[in-house]
Amino acid sequence: MQDVLDLLRRLSDSEEPCALATVIETIGSASAQTGSKAVIDRHGKVLAGWVGGGCAQSTVCHTALDCLRDGTPRIVDLNLDDEVLGTGMPCGGSMRVYVEPMMPKPKLWILGHGRVAECLCLVGALVGFAVVVDDPMAERERYPAAARLIDDDLDYGRLAPGPSDYVVVATQHKGDHQSMLRALASPAPFIALIASRKRSGLVLDYLREEGVEEAELRRVHAPAGLDLGAKTPEEIALSVLSEIVMHRRGGSGAAMREKLRPPAARDRVAEPAA
């Protein structure tokens, strides 16, 4: 057990995805005991632990790969009695194995400094992001929730978001068009620009002139945020993070009471007065 826990800690520190398989029930003669665990890497290989041998392990490893692909845990029912329809191990009994993906936190890259950036860092960490603040003017005391602070990157050359990361450009118009180009060179699916409508239009025009295709520009959210009527830096940060959470979780942005209202009632509200 200690080997499994130590390995999980090391994989977490190195941001390596893996799956943890735990035997949650055994009936009859099973090769593993309830509570047995195994760590499975992103290639489907058991790195530590034990949840059964032969085809039982193979089934669990294949399930782990499915979990890592979609981020959803699963329960595997293993029939150890049936050589043909089960796991191919007629040793008797059955097992249930809970397989959960252990994914590194997605990163929220914040370019810029100031009160909006500080609030983005705080709220971003609260909603589950590993926040990276990349700005020469950033000071640790102003970003206590940041997982990483980069303060020696004048041209944002160290900006390196991955395919599950989010980028917010909050540079207050200082080189925002150039930092947007840097962000678009990455696989980040969501790139937010905090700017006025006028400034957002100018930046988008610049990106088009630089040869950025419209398909790529769909990753750009400018101006960033949901329409909350935000005025203060704190409210602006909340608006931007709300849009990011909506994108990440597949939400609609609609008011919950409208989603819970029966369809017939929604139709009546939508009908114009006679």
For the chain (length 274 residues), average pLDDT per consecutive 10? 89 93 88 91 94 85 95 91 51 85 95 95 96 93 96 88 94 84 94 94 94 95 95 97 96 86 64 54
In the chain, where the domains are located: 13-102, 107-249
| Cis-peptide into 263, omega within 30 deg | no
Domain spanning 107-249: CATH 3.40.50.720:
yes
Could you give the CA distance from residue 212 to residue 199 in angstroms, rounded to a whole number? 18
Q: In this predicted structure, what is the pLDDT of residue 87?
A: 47
Query: Residue 167 in 3-state DSSP?
Result: strand
Q: In this predicted structure, what is the pLDDT of residue 178?
A: 86
Could you give the CA distance from residue 53 to residue 219 in angstroms, rounded to a whole number? 45
- pTM metric for this prediction: 0.80
Percent of the chain that is helix, strand, coil (3-state, to 5): 35, 20, 45
Q: Is beta strand 74-79 parallel, antiparallel or unpaired with respect to 220-221?
A: unpaired
Query: Residue 204 in 3-state DSSP?
Result: helix
Q: In this predicted structure, what is the pLDDT of residue 246?
A: 96
Q: In this predicted structure, what is the pLDDT of residue 157?
A: 86
Could you give the CA distance from residue 75 to residue 12 in angstroms, rounded to a whole number? 23
Q: In this predicted structure, what is the pLDDT of residue 218?
A: 95
